[in-house]
Structure 1
């Protein structure tokens, strides 16, 4: 049956009846499937219409006729499926279906499936339009300057992968946008938010952001809340976040920050609240300092301040913004945060003594949990609380000033002489910089990792306990157990070392990794995107490269479960892929291609055995 002949049986009871004093109409969860022409014709003073949690699929051309004073329209959570169980997109009979909504301020389409053709509706909205939610609508692209005729202040596009990738998609909103939710949209950089001087809340959780630039920070002069959880940010050395004078709330949870330095601590000086948990951090004195600042602030704080917008609402809009929580949700996180000093009263691993008495930074930790704030003592291979490393500062009364002055003169003399000696060396290194660059990185990391285990060079007579040590992430465990082990152990007679069954109880994880690598004839890395997201897997890959360098071995096998784009490859993996032959598992190929894969892989492992003996003792 065509769309134009579809029978609109609901809500026919509203037609022909005038509700001239009606201000709000709640039609949520009423099993509505179609909005027909003239349904709301007699409601000229209606201000808010709630139609969420229905199954609306079709909207007739004049369905909203007569709603000239409508301010808020809620069309969220309208689910409709085809016979195969796939979500169906909302259908408008005409592209000007919302032309009558000339005073609309707030529109909520969250969790309702939309198609790109539906976006033509924004041509009808003018400067009074302020609030829009398009989260989880299935849109993957917005047209450049699509909102240029509006004055949107609150925008939510979360859950739509690629929706902000078009250049200039937010053009025209530089002077109006105040709150943006763009979680899980595939953002790689945040340059599109430059010069948004009114922006107060920016939520970009669960993206691929690896850099937050100083240039961007300097343009966000009104930003108060910045949520960067679950991205790819790493350690930085230049000041960034301190360039935003109003920034009070910064969350950096679950990033790739592995070292805290003095400049990072200084960069937090304007903050009131900081989230930093679940980063794979190496212990140093600055991890202690980050902890001390919050501990001291919690001991001195009498109450927690709420973060409020500096802009006033344009009209009475508070009752029409239920889909956008903004400051309310983040203040809720603040209200339920854990006080560090109270945890220290009952946690014996929490050192309550503060080494410094001149702390001027006063942020509070948003997400403190002893298990989330742990660092790894690299040499020992054990985890410690952020409170346990020694502090960076030394009390002035412990300083010998005569000795300090003498050391200062020695340093000055060294600064004069050393450059003259090193200049020829530096010229030589500059000429051959490409050759030396990777060599220097390798030597540096080898020196660090060799502190864990100082094994001698492994020669051809060495007896190995295993044919191959397999490094993989837990997400690929099913493939390892169901595919790899049967082919290698059963079909090829290969002795495989897996961490979950072969690590020795009682040893640290690092000791077990190094021991098993050294007792295995070869090392196999099972590479996937999940592998690259695992901090331990990345460490094993890094360690494997340098252990093989230490022991002068070349027995490294790379197996890719999927193609890895260049932008996702860490430097170590990219170098290995350039210098070593690797093999890709043909997951979608024919059975013959898979048989060829297993034949090549088995031959690669067994070829490393001496012909005269079977070295596997496992």
Structure 2
């Protein structure tokens, strides 16, 4: 029969056009439990025989009276996390005598006062697990009160989680007063600073798991500031004297002997190295996680008593490590799993003598993780002591060729070398894998490598498709050197590589020789015709500028003659200019560079334009002329103009006797084919010379 409150709620739901499931809790029955889920629902209709109760995700202020001190005689498990609870009455859960599991996490506004109220009277219950993470105000740093631990002293509590509660200090006795039955303690994500109160942890004789990760951060996912690592430093110059950190030593000194699991992820330390430290003699530690702590240099070693050497798993990932001292792992003879992911061991592994013995002493190692370490090279003998290795994870690195010896790894079952730059695997590695796979399944992950499909690599491709080793490749994988699926590439190469390719090889050679011959001929022609090409290029540019001869000039030329001479010969040339331009009967218009070249234009362009716009080019040949590059350029352009326009352009005057051996090839050829005038030595010869010039120009 429904009570008045339940009837009223149903009527409200019907009038509000809301389904019954959104008003009432979801009840599930099985052979042992009555499970009730009241997410975003009213809890007043919870059956009295409930054993497991979930009340989560209530965004509005949740009324604690809906579940506090209710008549739930069989309730063993209650989860009221992720609500907006701001108040819990004292002894809220004390009436649930069978209560074993209490979760009040993610109610940020509760605070320690309401935590005290929630824990009050739990000694009357069968409480075993309490999760009270993220229940303290985010912006306030509180000391953890000892009276909360006092409420739990006489309980049978085994698991206690106090993560992300902004705790910076603890009152004396906070750990000491916790029940001796406690096995799992999590205080991660707080703001603890090392103080003598931590020594009380050693009093928890039954503690098996301790999580002290992410101290000095307020939230699990807050990005932590990482130390800068200079990869260019000399990694061989590390010294033990530089490593003075005592944080790890103090930490392992306070852990109780019963502890098997220690999680110290993101533990901030003053120094960036792992020094030599010891584990207590009677320690039962099996799993250690000191990842994401910024320890970039590992000196060690880790001292463990040989009788109590129980460490099986060690997580040192995400530390930006770039150096490991020889013998760092030598005492961990029972270690089976080593996680070195996301460090910077690539440069260190390139030092063969150092890296060859880095894993010395790990005689029981079965699983080695070195993902994303910028590794390009692995020493051949790196795993010589790890004969029981079963899994090797070296994915997400930069390995281009396999150099590691695996012939002695008889227990190997998995090699993950995906996302590297491997093109093939050597025959020695393939033979070793075939030998290992005779009695068991062996997997090699080669996803996202650069396997090449060539005749030279056909033996490796053939092995991939025929071996008993399970080679893992992505679906539709395309190898380098072949457009298409690797299976098609393999089948194509089997047919193509078996053919006689000697004819093709000769054909390629002949084609190459012919191509080189043609290129040489083209280069020779271009060299011989270079001045013609230069001249035509400038003429093309003149035409694009819409150049036209000056109107009214004889023959359409702007100048009667262009004078090409060296500055050393200018005294004689000046007199020739005066005579040619000063003669009233002839009135010749000559072009000289120091007077008629247009400023702003390139010299080469001025030269070509002047030669092209002059009827003749008078060259005054001398030793100084032959030494001037621009003079020789003017001569070559004039000769090119002569051949291009099919008219006589050059009038050469030789100012001094020059032996033929001092002449350039093109000048010598011109000497042999054409006549020239010798410099006059007397006034009569000068008058005759000028008359000849006037006649030739006109």
Q: Please tell me the TM-score bracket, short chain as reference.
A: 0.3 to 0.5
Q: Between Structure 1 and Structure 2, whose CA radius of gyration is higher? A: 2
Task: Indicate the structure whose relative CO is greater, using CA pairs within 8 Å and at least 6 residues apart.
Answer: 1
Q: TM-score, normalised by structure 1?
A: 0.46
Q: TM-score, normalised by structure 2?
A: 0.41
